[in-house]
Every structure is written in C-alpha cells, then in structure tokens.
Chain A
Amino acid sequence: MIGGDFTVLSSRAYIAITGEYDVASGAAYSLVLLLPGLLVFLVQRYWAERRSVVSVTGKPSGNITLLRSPLARIPLLTVVLAITALIVAIYVTVFVGAFTAILGVNNTFTLANYRYVLSGIGSDAMFTTTILALIATPVAGVLGMILAWLVVRKVRRGRGALDFLGMLGLAVPGTVLGIGYALAFNKPFIIGNIQLLPALAGGGAIFGGALAIVMVYVIRSMPSGQRSGIAALQQIDPAIDEASTSLGASGLRTFRSITLPLIRPALLSGLTYAFARAMTTLSPIIFITTPQTKIMTSQILSEVDSGRFGNAFAYCTILIAIVLGVIGLMNLLIRDRRTPARVN
C-alpha cells in the first residue's frame, strides 16, 4: 500500500496473481520472499536460545533500577516521545479522515463515509470478519497452549523442532502463506477416487471459502498463544506439579487445579493477541477472500486501491473499535481471580 516507487517482493507477488493472473510466477516470488524471512527467523532463534537464562526460582526477586541521570533520560525521553507522537498521529489521521470528505482536499465534516461503509458490503464484512476471528481465537489460543505445554513439559527430544513448527505461521511471510493456502486448498483433495477433502479456499469452496480463512487466522494467531504459554509454563517450578501429584492428584486434576490457574493470565493475553492478529491480518487472506466471504482488511485495501480513502479510514476506525471492544469483553469474562480465599 505504501510501496511508492519501490518494487517490493510481496507486492510483486500480489500483482502477479491479482493483476496478471500468473499464479506460477506469484509462487516463485513467494519462494524468494520466504528464504530471507525464514533465515532471519532462524538466526534470531539461535541467538535468543543461546542467551536465554534459566531463572526459575519460584521466589520473588529483583527490583527495577531507575535511570536518574538527566544525561541518559533526556535523549531517551525524546526518542520515546517522538515515536509515541508518530503513532498517535497515525491514529488521529485515521480518525479525522473517517469524518472528512477528502482529507487534505475537502476538509468538510461528513458522515457519508460511515453511511457507505455501514450499509451493504461494509456491515457484511464487519460481521463476517468478527465472527471468523471469534471462531479462530479460542482454537488458536488452546492449540497454542497445548503446544506450549508439550514443548515445555512433555516432549524431551525434538522440542525445538516442535516449537519451530508452531511458530512457522508467524515466520512465513503473509503473502507466501496466503498463496500457499490458495494453491493447496482451491481444489478438492483427492487420492485415487476418494475425495478426502472438498475445496476449502476460493469462491466455489464450502462455506464460501470461510473455512480456509479461519485456518489462516488460526495458523497466523497461534504463535502468540504459544509464546505466552511457553513463557508462563517456564515460570512454574515442576516441583509444584509434582507436589500436587504426590498429594494424590491425577495428572488431569493437577492441570485443572494447579497449572491452569497459574497460566490463566498468559492464556488471556494469548487470546487477546490472537484475536487482534486475526482481525488485522491482511496479506495471507488477500488471495482467499471470496465474493461470499468479505474480510474487512481486504475491503480496506480495495477502498484504498480505488482512491476512496475516506471509506478506508471509516473501516479502520470500526476495526479498531471492534478489536478494543472484544478485548475489553474478554478481559471481563476471563478475569484474573487470584485473591486467595479461604473456603470454609
């Protein structure tokens, strides 16, 4: 969207498929795109793993040292404020733009953008996107937690590989993921004469291609649950689980009464991120949205493509509102009930 005069690989791949109807060269661009992405991811993992320090003591320790020297504070504060101002400016622009006829040209206040977006296509996309994201979020969150549990507690050999597999949804560039899904699932999956799977992606697929979109959401959002799950589980001394077992609790009972309450905050933040990621995912689903299944992010893109920035801004504010609203709701629902209460 903001490529300007520069040709970027992912937008080349996008144009190859949507503009030139050349799926093969789109896939080729994707492959070129995939290599550096994976490489950087692997290098980062290697570094992070070497530096990670085991700090599981189960006892509170450590305190924060405040930087007091103005020599250090002033430049740091300036940088932080500048970045914050930039981010705020972006949101303000979006918000103002949503209520303006043509931002910068005709700055009159109008509700026309919302009228356009909320009637017809727009409300359709809003509804569909939210529903699909809401379906994907718990699946991604639970899968991520299970994967984290396997990685931290259960699997001894190959835990690195398992962790890596789970993280692929994040490591693989979105365009590549999208093209992969579009190619893999747009035809029924047939071995011999038996149809194992119907077509999942594309206009002719079941549920209007919605299933493929949910799958992309899940794959794309799972790593956030996985990361926070792993971080939380590594904080819990295995002896706590063993203590529960030693007192007569089965493995399932221990998970329910001990492990789950202790990782609840992580589960919540995992779910929150998963939902936000799903709602805002663009590049992977751009190739698998269908006329029946409209997704807000791709609607925003097409509004921008047609030069209707006002509508795009209006979409964006609604998207932000939905994400914030649902996150707030989730916070209320899975409230952290950790005040120890004596049960008599």
Chain B
Amino acid sequence: MATTTSTSTSTSSGTTAQAGPSGSLHLDNLVKQYPGGASTEPAVAGIDLDIRPGEFLTLLGPSGCGKTTTLRMIAGFETPSHGSLTLDGEDMVALTPDKRPMAMVFQSYALFPHMSVFDNVAYGLRLQKLPKKRVQEEVDFALASMSLTKLADRAPNQLSGGQQQRVALARAMVMKPKVLLFDEPLSNLDAKLRVQMRTEIRALQHKLGITSVYVTHDQDEAMSLSDRIVVMRQGRIEQVATPEIVYRKPASVFVADFIGRANFLDTSIGHLTLHADGARATVRALGTNYTVPAHDGIDASSQVCLMVRPESVVLAPAPDAREVSGDEGRVLKSVFYGAWVEYEIETVDGNVTAVIYDPAPGDILDHGTFVRVSFEQDRAWLLPAED
C-alpha cells in the first residue's frame, strides 16, 4: 500500500518532483531494549521527535548513543520495544521495512556487486513493476542528476568510493520515498570528498524536498547539512534545535563540549534577571563582572558553569603584568594555523583556549607573554553545571 502511494506521487521524469506536504514523521516515546535482562541500559531510552515534511534532521552523538538504533527503527530493521512511529498519521511499526515508503543510504554503500550501476539504480523501480520505458527514463534522470550517466554500464567494483556513494544516493532518490534515511554515508570517504558530497546531498535534498533523517558523529557534517540537529547521549535526547542554537545556546555541558570547542569556567550567579529574549545573569569570571545570557533551567541557587567559545575570547596587551591575577593571564602555548592562531592561556580561572582569526603579521603572541583576558559577554552562555 505504502509503495503504491510513493509511486502515485512520483511525477514524470525530467521535472522536479515535489513531495508536497507529505513526509511528516512522528516518534513517540520510542524505546529499544535489547534482550539480555532489564538490568542492561536500553539502547534507546524514549525518543520523542516531530520531523516536519521536507526537513533535514540530523541525529548526532558519540558512538553508542543510540542514534543508529533510532534510525534503524525508523527504517524497520529494528523493532521498537515500546513507543509508536507514524508517517503522515500512518502507523509504521506494523510494516516490514520493504513496505515502508522510505529509502536508506548506508555507510558501506551496500551496492549490489553483481549488477551494473544502471541495474542497481533500477532495482527498486523494477520491483514496482513499472513499464520498462518509465524505468529507463527515471533511472537515466537520476543518473544524470548525480553525473553518473557515463558510468551506467560499469560494475560497482570499477568505481571509486565517491562514485559508489553517488550510485547509492541515486538508487535511494530514484524511489522518490517520503523519507530518506542516511546512516553515516560519508564516513568512508576522504575529507575533501566528504565536504563536496555534503554540499551535493544538501542541494539535492533541497531540490527534491524529501524529509531526511541523517545519522552522523561528525559535528561539521551535522552543522552544515541540517535544518535541526538532535544531540543524543546514552539513548536519550539532550537537545533538539537549529545548528545555530545548538552551538550558541547548548542545553548542557555535554552538548557544548560535543559541538565545537568550549572553555568552561566555574562561577556563581550574582544576579539573575528575566528578559523577553531569555534570562540574563551577572557572573564574575576572570576577575571581572559580566552579564551573560543564561539557560532557562537556571535559578539563583543553581550550580552553574560559564561556557566561552575560544573565538569569543578577547586578548589585549598587558605590558605591566608580572603575574597571573585578576584579568591578567600568561600565554602557555601559541600555535599558528595560517588563518588563525590558537593560544592556551593560564588565568585565575584555569587554562583558557583562545582562537584569534586572521592575525596581523607580527601580532602573534609568544609563549610567556602576559595578556589581559576577557570575552564578548553576549556570546558567552551560562548553563547548569554537570553533576
């Protein structure tokens, strides 16, 4: 039934397919507990998500956080122990993977080694018993849009890794599924190709408007591809938000640490005020008072810590300084990366990492130099301390 729906929505080849409003995926308290007794922690411990039609959502987290298990439950390769999964209101748990209007792109490409590129891409369409001419048109179009036309007759083992993954992508896209699933599809490619494929995936997904769920442990990938990022840890969701919010206003120390780099300064709240755009707190750090944006869950008695990204640290000359005190610190390490310099600075609040972009010639501070250390207070973030 599901497959018929996806067939009927697919328009003739050559034109851009519009998935329309369909493809809204709803996960409600999804749990996966592997057999082995109730004593073991569940792999996925209750996931609630509303994925909007056409949205590109990334599940991000360290290995073992349950992101792949969640994706495999959506695809149907794992059966949830509890909870529900619906696509446009239709229950998916009851359907076997082949009946779900979804297509998956695998980490290992998983091309059929005994079939040509063309046959690989045509596989799913032929299963739908489409007329030969239709199959030919659709596959030709898919191959062309992935610049694979010339490789149609090759066998998968005659292709490079990047080409193989394009075939896998074409094979999934040609089905015009309601949901595209990606299981770390770029992790087998080298860094340069990864960046290129990232852009292509994003452009293609935008064009086709297919709801996409993407699993990765690479934060750059998550940041550059996603409409929203789901940061997971030990089978639970830590935060669901746009890349910018996840980076600027992480929900926890774990998220702040996992996405990008961060300095965490121990501090306590002097004064807490509520504003229309969120809470603000006065805190003392690096010998100075700052008023910084604060996490909603904080009250005046909370144990807090202050997140300062390395690029919001500001360094100023301190010609008279002789020791580390107040806002004066000492450069412990200085590394020149071309576009930026990275410093490690000893301060009263511990060591702080600072990144200064586009340093002027002759402006690089040497090891042992004393500096005044401050930060842009609007870019800092006060959040609950980790237990």
Contacts and interface: CB of A to CB of B under 8 A. Distances in A.
A259 to B, nearest CB: 10
Contacts of A261: 114
B112 interface: yes
Interface string B74-118: 010100000000000000000011110011101111111111101
Contacts of A340: 114-116, 119, 153, 155
A128 interface: no
Question: Among A243, A249, A338, A344, which residue has the most Cβ atoms of chain B within 10 A?
Answer: A243
Interface stretch (B122-130, B207-215, B282-290): B122-130
A194 B373 CA distance: 96
Contacts of B127: 247-249, 253
A251 B98 CA distance: 9
A333 interface: no
A82 B266 CA distance: 78
Contact of B110 (A242, A338, A341): A242
Question: Among A60, A257, A262, which residue has the most Cβ atoms of chain B within 10 A?
Answer: A257
A77 B3 CA distance: 61
A335 to B, nearest CB: 14
* Category for how many chain A residues contact B: 20 to 34
Interface in B1-20: 3
Question: Among A247, A258, A261, A340, which residue has the most Cβ atoms of chain B within 10 A?
Answer: A247
B187 interface: no
Given A237-B108, A253-B127, A342-B153, A246 B116 contact: no
A65 B348 CA distance: 60
B63 to A, nearest CB: 17
A239 interface: yes
Nearest to B102: A246
A60 B161 CA distance: 11
Contacts of B175: 247-248
Contacts of B110: 58, 237, 239-240, 242-243
Contacts of A107: none
B267 interface: no
A242 B104 contact: yes
Contact of B123 (A247, A250, A341, A342): A247
Contacts of A110: none
A244 interface: yes
Interface residues of B, number: 38
A128 B235 CA distance: 64
Interface string B132-147: 1000100000000000
A60 B98 CA distance: 29
Contacts of B67: none
B157 interface: yes
B4 to A, nearest CB: 11
Nearest to A60: B157
Contacts of B111: 240, 243
A309 B173 CA distance: 71
B51 interface: no
Nearest to A340: B116
Given A248-B3, A248-B124, A342-B152, A239 B106 contact: yes
A60 B113 CA distance: 11
Given A60-B157, A342-B153, A247 B103 contact: yes
Contact of B107 (A239, A250, A342): A239
Contacts of A251: 98
B166 interface: no
A61 to B, nearest CB: 11
B233 interface: no
Nearest to B124: A247
A343 interface: yes
Contact of B106 (A242, A248, A257, A343): A242
Contacts of A247: 98, 103, 123-124, 127, 171-172, 175
Contacts of A84: none
A245 interface: yes
Contact of B98 (A57, A239, A246, A342): A246
Please provide the 3 A-B residue pairs with the shortest distance between their CB atoms, ordered closest to farther.
Answer: A247-B124, A239-B110, A340-B116
8 contacts: A237-B108, A242-B104, A244-B112, A246-B103, A248-B99, A249-B124, A258-B112, A340-B155
Given A58-B110, A58-B113, 16 more contacts: A239-B106, A239-B108, A240-B113, A242-B77, A242-B97, A242-B106, A242-B110, A244-B112, A244-B123, A245-B98, A246-B172, A247-B124, A250-B96, A250-B98, A340-B153, A342-B116
